[in-house]
Amino acid sequence: MMLSVNEESFPKLVLESSRPVLVYFWAPWCGLCRLIQPTLLSWQNDCQGAIELVGVNADNNFKLANSFRLRSLPTLILFDQGVPVHRLEEIHSREELQQTRLFVTLYAKSTDKMPRQHTSNPKIPKVSQAIGSPFY
């Protein structure tokens, strides 16, 4: 099952999460969004709880969607400790989606074995600092 997040719950459920979080930006009118949703749910099962999958309805959360400068839907952004580590948008082929699946699965399994500490890298601004800024 995919958890639905909004502008209010996003900081706590995504940015402050102790696990990597794959954020799926979608809209009800987006046909491709509906097509890939079962694939995303299977990714979550493949990762066996190592990642959290959440969905953001871009139409209902325009400010949040705009803060990440989405160019198209669906858009997938993988966050780890509040920092985006991978992004896929403008999906053109099944191969792109499969490459992202491989990356997310390997990333989730590798971070599952590592101790989780919230670290700060001064070269990478936190998303909470970047929302509304030209960084994204």
Which residues make Cβ contacts (< 8 Å) with residue 15, sequence separation at least 6? 79, 82, 126, 127, 128
pLDDT at residue 23 in the model: 98
Tens of pLDDT along the chain (136 residues)? 899 999 999 999 999 999 999 999 999 999 999 999 999 999 888 888 899 999 999 999 999 999 999 999 999 999 999 999 999 998 989 899 999 999 988 888 787 655 455 444 333 344 444 444 433 3
pTM comes to 0.81
Catalytic residue among 27, 30, 41, 85: 30
31-46 vs 94-112: helix crossing angle, rounded to 10? 30
Asked if 33 is an active-site residue, the reply is yes
Catalytic residue among 21, 33, 54, 58: 33
Asked if 30 is an active-site residue, the reply is yes
pLDDT at residue 47 in the model: 84
